[in-house]
Amino acid sequence: MTAYSELSGHFGRIAALSNAVGILQWDSDVMMPKGAAETRADSMALLHVLRHGLVTDPRIGDWLAGAEGDASLGTWEQANLREIRRVWTVETALPADLVEASSKAISACEMRWRQARADADFAGLLPYLTEVLNLQRQIGRAKGEKLGLSPYDALLNDYEPGGHSARIDALFDDLAAFLPGFTQEAMAVQAHRPALEPLEGPFATEAQRALGLRLMAALGYDFERGRLDISTHPFCGGADNDVRITTRYDEADFTKALMGVLHETGHALYEQGRPQGYLNQPVGAARGMSVHESQSLLMEMQACRSRQFLAYAAPLMREAFGGSGPAWEAEAMWRRYTRVEPGFIRVDADEVTYPAHVILRYRLEKALIAGEMTLADLPSAWNDGMKALLGVAVPDDRRGCLQDIHWSSGGWGYFPTYTLGAMTAAQIFDAACRAEPGILPGIGRGDFAPLVGWLRANIHGKGSLLSTDDLLTEATGRPLDAAVFKAHLRRRYLEEA
């Protein structure tokens, strides 16, 4: 066997193990009885250690040395070697006992978070989250020493390969200066419209689920390779060719869960569209979380809050819930789904105020990793930041610093990818619509094939063949440019309004 075939076979086994971890994690979040938590934590920790052992196998260095000199390898194989070396370099920075300790701490913290969130009990979560944070700091330092990065940038690199906080600081400081004034402009425009009539519920969970499934099918979700379930925090997970999504329902308001389903469907379409020939190789993986979040936000914000989509979807909503009257008309639905109103909950936030939620979390997690603030100070710092950035007073920790699972699940360095993703989504959707004039008319008919086809060719099917900047430049003609996102906001909330 050649060095490259040894590597590809080895990483195929790693992918199979990662798939098993993905399904067990999905089960933990969706179906697992509470009494199984400790046993599951031990199983997950062992699997993470086994995976770490495979990724840090000392033979990989020799195989890479042999394969990187093989002139017969094609473009995809060469890119795969680049990605294998990147993964191997990062993973060899961590000792196995740190991987095991982190996995166990995360499992315990995730389970405690579910109860703490329900009870608005930050004090009950604090010791669990403290252990997770301490271990994440150790992981960040170990990876940072290996990569020549700060601990925070080393953690960020797991979600945004090649990303740096200095660049994010500049982008986010610019947005933080732009958004407050723009928010006031958008709210002033909508204040001149007649008040929206309420949608009278209740809206049965089963009816919400049926509508979500119908729209998932319209977007192109493959139900032969996935499913829709309920969880405390919506997510997309599972395994290769088994891409599962979740949402949460509120029988007093169907609009939130529906957009949550469409958001997670965007993630799932990306996963289902990755290159099948390299699905079990690093080069076939999604190109980082800013691109992944761009695909969910492209579907939810760019496509499914458009007038075209809501003209198609409004009759389906009326049919699903037996609605009638002006509140159920397409224009009213568009106004409802583009209403700007600062609130407490990130996943329910409108497109304009959403970035402020992310900027706050980014600034807080950077300070926590750096040791510039303590976890005990998190609730007050969170509440002060929400007041400063969004002008809202947080009533309790359930709607404050306990609302997201990310920190409890070890996702330190993840949050900035949401707003990077929103900016990327605007740029990709703009390029797609310019390249394929049939996209918006298709969305108006419930035909997403033109859009998904373009995404398959230009984003999904590329896997990790290119760097994030190169992928975006090849697809849109330029690297990430905040001006496109700002232009989209102005067009939707000031000009089209």
pLDDT band at 1 (very low <50, low <70, confident <90, very high): confident
Q: Check whether 417 has a pLDDT greater than 90.
A: yes
Contact 152, 370 (CB under 8 A): yes
Contact 430, 476 (CB under 8 A): yes
Q: Check whether 347 has a pLDDT greater than 90.
A: no
Closest CA to 344 of 394, 385, 389: 394
Q: Exposed (0-12), middle (13-18) or buried (19+): which is 130, by Cβ within 10 Å?
A: middle
pLDDT value at residue 497: 76
CA 387 to chain centre: 25
CA-CA distance, 213 to 219, in Å (whole number)? 10
Residues with active-site annotation: 264
pLDDT value at residue 73: 97
pLDDT band at 60 (very low <50, low <70, confident <90, very high): very high
pLDDT above 70 covers a percentage of the chain that reads: 100
Decide: pTM greater than 0.85: yes
User: What are the tokens at 168?
Assistant: 């994010």
Q: Check whether 65 has a pLDDT greater than 90.
A: yes
CA dist 218 → 56, 212, 460 (Å): 42, 10, 18
DSSP 39-90: HHHHHHHHHHHHHHHHHT-THHHHHHHHHTT-TT--HHHHHHHHHHHHHHHH
pLDDT value at residue 348: 87
User: What are the tokens at 407?
Assistant: 């920190």
Mean pLDDT value across the chain: 96
Helices (H), 148-273: 151-159, 165-191, 205-219, 254-272
pLDDT value at residue 192: 92
* Per-state percent for the chain, helix, strand, coil, to nearest 5: 70, 5, 30
**Secondary structure (3-state) at 321:** helix
pLDDT value at residue 381: 98
Closest CA to 261 of 299, 293, 291: 299
Overall average pLDDT of the 244-254 stretch:
97
- Please give the CATH topology (third level) of the domain spanning 165-495: Neurolysin; domain 3 (1.10.1370)
Query: Which helix (H) or strand (E) segment is 488 a member of?
Result: helix 482-490
Q: What is the tens place of the pLDDT at every residue in 463-495?
A: 999 999 999 999 999 999 999 999 999 999 999
Overall average pLDDT of the 242-257 stretch:
96
Q: Check whether 176 has a pLDDT greater than 90.
A: yes
Q: What is the tens place of the pLDDT at every residue in 15-45?
A: 999 999 999 999 999 999 999 999 999 999 9
Q: Check whether 93 has a pLDDT greater than 80.
A: yes
pLDDT value at residue 363: 98
Overall average pLDDT of the 165-183 stretch:
95
pLDDT above 90 covers a percentage of the chain that reads: 98
pLDDT band at 233 (very low <50, low <70, confident <90, very high): confident
**Boundaries of every domain in the chain:** 3-159, 165-495
Q: Check whether 239 has a pLDDT greater than 80.
A: yes
